[in-house]
Every structure is written in C-alpha cells, then in structure tokens.
Structure 1
Amino acid sequence: MIEAAGLTKRYGRTVAVDNLSFTVQPGRVTGFLGPNGAGKSTTMRMILGLDRPTGGEAKINGKRYHDLHHPLRTVGALLDAKWVHPNRSARAHLRWMAKSNKLPAARVDEVLELVGLTSVANKRAGAFSLGMSQRLGIAAALLGDPEVLLFDEPVNGLDPEGILWIRKFMQRLATEGRTVLVSSHLLSEMSLTASELIVIGRGKLIAQSSTEEFVSRATENTVKVRSPQLPALRQALTGEGIEVRDDADALVVSGVDSATVGELAAKHGVVLHELSPQRGSLEEAFMQLTGDSVEYHTDITDDHAVAAAAAAELMSQGK
C-alpha cells in the first residue's frame, strides 16, 4: 500500500505538489493521471525518497522509503528506462542492483526471463531499443520481488505489441496482490489498464475513484439508435420529453437507457436497426475535469521555474 498525507513540494515560490493526499491499494492497477506539469513525477520521486517533501509525508507499507532496510525487497520502480550505464550489459546492471540489496544472483536470470530479455542479457544496455530498455527497467523493478511497484510513463514510444505486453504484465502483477501505481499520458491505454484512478492538477487532488466512476461522473451516457422510421421515432421520444439529436442516419438519445428507448419504439410500432448504449470515454472525462488545470501550464515559464528551482535545491544539497 502507498499512502500520501498532505504531501507538498515547493521550489522557491513555485508549488509543484500542494497538500496532496491519496491511498493506493493492493490488488489493482491504479492510474496516476494529470496534465503536463501537474506534479506526477515529483510525487513519485517523493514516494521513493528521491525528493524531500516540503510538507507532509509518503509511506510504503506504513514506512518511509528511507526507513526500509532493503528497499528493493519492498518497492520496485521504473522512473527512467534509460537510467542504465550504456556500457553495462543487462545482466551486469541487474547483478549490481541485486548485490546492493543482498539479493541472490540467481534472481537476475529469473527476472530477465520474466521480461523476455534472456537472449540479449549480455548485450550493452546502451544499444537497447526503447522497448528493450522498458523491459530492462521492469526487470530491475521486479528484482526484489516487491509488493509495491511504481511505473512512470512505461509505454512511451513503444509499438502496439510492447504496449499490450506491458498492459497485461501490470495487470498480472496486480492479480498477484501487489500494489501497482502507473503514471501515463496515454489515456486510451489507461482506460484499458487501470481499474482505479488518481487524477491531479496543479499539484492538487482532483479525483480518486474507480475508472468507471470517474468516466460516469464526468461524461454523459447516451443511446445511439438507427431506424428506417426515424421521424416517427423522433416524435415518439420528444413527445415523452426525451432529449434527441441527429447523428447522420441515426439519433442520439440522452437521459434514458436503451431499454427505455426500445420499449418506447415497440409501443409506437417503430422498427429498430440499431440500439447501442454509448459510454463516455476516459479522454472526455479527463478533459472535462482537468480543463482548468491545463491552463496553468500554457505558460512555459512555469515549467522553467520549476526546473530551475529544482536544480538550485539539488546544488544547495551538494548533489
């Protein structure tokens, strides 16, 4: 389980994360969504102890990351797929990580096979494609067989086969009872992958709910209906005070379900060729609920301010 309580991060006068609280439960894939610059990566870095919170705290299974004795055994993360020495082989990179947390060397070959990299285990990581780098990053995250996993933009730049593989892999990890938090800008993919969502904007929590609840709350469900007797059907619907609009050779009906439309058509002797419930999309719901937050990031100077302030803080810490 991941718990954030009042998590705040300021860089000078710029607030990157603002009093953010949420819980990520085990046994499901939780999508972490927000516009560019919303504070997603900063939040994940604070969870992993890479950035020091200005206020609040984040805990993993009840402990701060710095209090974990062998952290790779509890939490695994993929924040940057290319964070590997380019001249090291995949196997050498994982062996170095395993040794740092006193993990058995045999575990390296296990995770390489798990992510499909056994045949290129001795190849230089710098020669890897983005898809192979993503798989190596996932192997590193799984090295300690952790209960908690964080992935930041794991499908960026991948082909359809790679995206499908990562989706199914993350869902499998969740079915094993692990806690899986995934940040992504690919909303269509998140709608297929995540059963739970945490949505933030301007560093603040906008919503936390199931994916289905999030979409239903922010979008309108309609019914698309086609008939060779559209004028009669339109008259029957509007006569009951039901909202109808034209859509090419069909009608789109709002405010009632498909059963109601079908029963009304039958009552008036109208033949139907199509009766399809139309559910709103995650993209529509996301745009609806984060529109105000997107405006915050139209000024590029905001992003520059965050980057400059972050660099200044690191220098002051001697990093």
Structure 2
Amino acid sequence: MIQLNALTKRYGDVVAVDDLTVTVRPGLVTGFLGPNGAGKTATMRMILGLDLPTSGSATIDGRPHHELPSPLRVIGSMLDAQAVHPQRTAYKHLLYLAQSNSIPAGRVAEVLDLAGLADVAGRKAGGFSLGMSQRLGIAAALLGDPPVVVLDEPVNGLDPEGVRWIRTLIRGLAAEGRTVLVSSHLMSEMAVTADRLVVIGKGRLIAEAEIGEFTETGSTVLVRTPEAAAFSRRLELSGAHVQAGDDDELLVTGMTAPDVGRLAAAEGVPLFELTQRRVSLEDAFMELTRDSVEYGAAR
C-alpha cells in the first residue's frame, strides 16, 4: 500500500504538489492522471525517496522509502526507462541492481525472459530502441518481485504487441494482490487497464474514484416518449436537467437510466427508448482538468 498524507513539495516559489492525501490500495491498478505540470512526476519521486517532501509524508506499507533495507524487494519502479548506462548490457544492468539488494542472480534471467529480452541480454543498453528500453525498465521494476509497483508511462514506445503485453502484465500484478500505480497520458489505455483513478491538477487532488464513476458522471440518458413535454417537467421536478431533442426525444442529465425508467413507470409514461450514453474517459478527464491545464492550445 502507498499512502500520501498532506504531501507537499515546493521548488522555490513553485508549488509542485499541494497537500496531497491519497491511498493506493493493493489488488487494484490505480491510474495516476493529470495534465503536464500537474505534479505526477514530483509525487512519484517523493514516493521513491528521490526527492524529499517540503511537508507531509509518502510511505510504502507504513515506511518511507529511505527506511526500506532492500527497497527493490518492496517497491519496484520505472520513471525513466532510458536511465541506464549505455555501455552496460541488459544482463549486467540488472545483475548490478540485484546485487545491490541481495537478490539472487538467477532472478535476472527470469525477468529478462518475462520482458521478452532473453535473446538480447548480452547487448549494450545504449543500442536499444525505446520499446526495448521500456521492457528493460519494467524488468528492473520487477527484479525484486515487489508487492508494490510504480510505473510512469509504461507503454511509451511499445508496439501493439508490447502494449497488450504490458496491459496484461499490469492487470496480472494487481490480481496477485500487489499495489500497482501507473501514470499515463493515454486515456484509451487507462480505460481498459485501470480499476481506480487518481486525478491531480496544479499539484492538488481533483478526483479519486473507481473508473466507472468517472465515465458515469456527466453521462446523458436518451429518452423517447410520446409524452415528452409532460415527462420533461416531471424529470426537472425530480432534479434532472432536461434538453429537448428531435421530435419525441429528451436528453437527460443528473439521473441514471434506471432512475428515469422507474420514474416513467410510476407516472405511467410510455417509453419508446431509454439509453444511457456514457462519456469517454478522455472527455471526463478533459472536463475535470480544464482549469488545471498549464499550456492550453488556442480554440
């Protein structure tokens, strides 16, 4: 489990992370989202002990990173897949990491095979493509078989087969009961990978919920009824917002399709159609973060 308690980081006058309190629970893939400059990287660096908080705390299973005697056995991470000495082979890179955390050398071959790099274990990392570097970074993150995994943009540079591989891997890690935190800008990938989302903007928490709650919020219910005008008034009295569509159509927000259906049944209103149209995760994300975008294009 990762726990952030009033976590704050200032760089001079700039507040990168502002009073952030979040719990990342085991057994779930938690997507960590936010616009550029939102504070995601600063947060992950503090979780990993690379930067010290100005105030507040970041702990892994109740302990800050610097108190972990063999950190790779507790938390594996990938923030920059290309942060590898270019003259080291993939095998030597992982071997040195293993030796620094008292991990058996045999584990190196296991993670190389897991990442699909067994055939290039003797090649220097400086000659790796971006996709191969990503695989090496993921292999390093899993080297200590850790219960907590933190990955920043893990599908960056991967081909479609690689994207499917990392998606399956991430979900498998969570299914084993591990704590998995994944940062990404790819909403389509988060929509099919994450169970829960944490969204931040300008260093502050904007939203934290199960992924279905994000796409349900802001969804529209399409209603077709020959009694559109009368039913529209009844829906508004029940707290919904109603917009008239074509002919006998109503577009309803603020109520779910089951609630609309129950109201129609209670009022004896015939329905020709009742469809809930959920917004995409991308649309929900854009709406949540529209006031937190640091560099927005002209519209």
TM-score calculated relative to the size of structure 2: 0.86
| Residue 289 (structure 2) pairs with residue 298 (structure 1) | no
How far is 1:114 from its partner? 1.2
Matched to 1:47, the amino acid is I
Relative to total residues, which structure has the larger helix share, 1 or 2? 1
Structure 2 equivalent of residue 307 of structure 1? none
Whole-angstrom distance in 1 between the partners of 2:149 and 2:116: 19
Structure 2 equivalent of residue 253 of structure 1? 251
The answer to whether the 8 A contact 2:228-2:250 is kept is no
Cα deviation code 1:42-96 (max 9, x no counterpart) = 0000010101111111110111100000111101000001111112111111011
Q: Secondary structure at the match of 2:292?
A: helix
The answer to whether the 8 A contact 2:90-2:120 is kept is yes
Divergent runs of 4+, >4 A: 244-247, 249-252, 255-265, 267-272
Structure 2 equivalent of residue 101 of structure 1? 101
Structure 2 equivalent of residue 63 of structure 1? 63
The answer to whether the 8 A contact 2:226-2:270 is kept is no
Structure 2 equivalent of residue 53 of structure 1? 53
Q: Which runs of 5+ in 1 are unaligned?
A: 226-232, 300-319
How far is 1:252 from its partner? 6.4
How far is 1:28 from its partner? 0.5
Whole-angstrom distance in 2 between the partners of 1:175 and 1:160: 23
Aligned CA-pair RMSD: 2.5
Structure 1 equivalent of residue 111 of structure 2? 111
Q: Pick one of 219, 228, 239 that aligns with 1:237.
A: 228
Structure 2 vs 1, CA of residues 235 and 23 (structure 1 numbering), >3 Å: closer, same or farther?
same
The answer to whether the 8 A contact 1:6-1:19 is kept is yes
The answer to whether the 8 A contact 2:228-2:249 is kept is no
Structure 2 equivalent of residue 285 of structure 1? 284
Whole-angstrom distance in 1 between the partners of 2:215 and 2:271: 32
Structure 1 equivalent of residue 208 of structure 2? 208
Cα deviation code 1:241-287 (max 9, x no counterpart) = 1635548x99563246556679979x898877xx6431122112212
> Percent identity between the aligned chains?
56
The answer to whether the 8 A contact 1:4-1:23 is kept is yes
Describe how 1:54-93 pairs up with structure 2 within 5 A: 54-93=54-93
The answer to whether the 8 A contact 1:224-1:250 is kept is no
Matched to 2:170, the amino acid is M
Structure 2 vs 1, CA of residues 271 and 262 (structure 1 numbering), >3 Å: closer, same or farther?
farther
Q: Which runs of 5+ in 2 are unaligned?
A: 236-241
The answer to whether the 8 A contact 1:86-1:125 is kept is yes
The answer to whether the 8 A contact 1:74-1:147 is kept is yes
TM-score calculated relative to the size of structure 1: 0.81
The answer to whether the 8 A contact 1:151-1:182 is kept is yes
Structure 2 equivalent of residue 220 of structure 1? 218
82-91 or 62-71: bigger deviation: 82-91
Structure 1 equivalent of residue 17 of structure 2? 17
Describe how 1:252-271 pairs up with structure 2 within 5 A: 253-255=251-253
Matched to 2:288, the amino acid is L
The answer to whether the 8 A contact 2:227-2:248 is kept is no
Structure 2 vs 1, CA of residues 240 and 84 (structure 1 numbering), >3 Å: closer, same or farther?
same
Cα deviation code 1:199-250 (max 9, x no counterpart) = 111111112111112332xx3323457xxxxxxx564333311635548x99
Structure 2 vs 1, CA of residues 108 and 254 (structure 1 numbering), >3 Å: closer, same or farther?
same
Matched to 1:197, the amino acid is L
284-293 or 57-66: bigger deviation: 284-293
| Residue 9 (structure 2) pairs with residue 5 (structure 1) | no
Whole-angstrom distance in 1 between the partners of 2:18 and 2:9: 7
Whole-angstrom distance in 2 between the partners of 1:109 and 1:250: 65
How far is 1:194 from its partner? 0.8
Q: Secondary structure at the match of 2:62?
A: coil
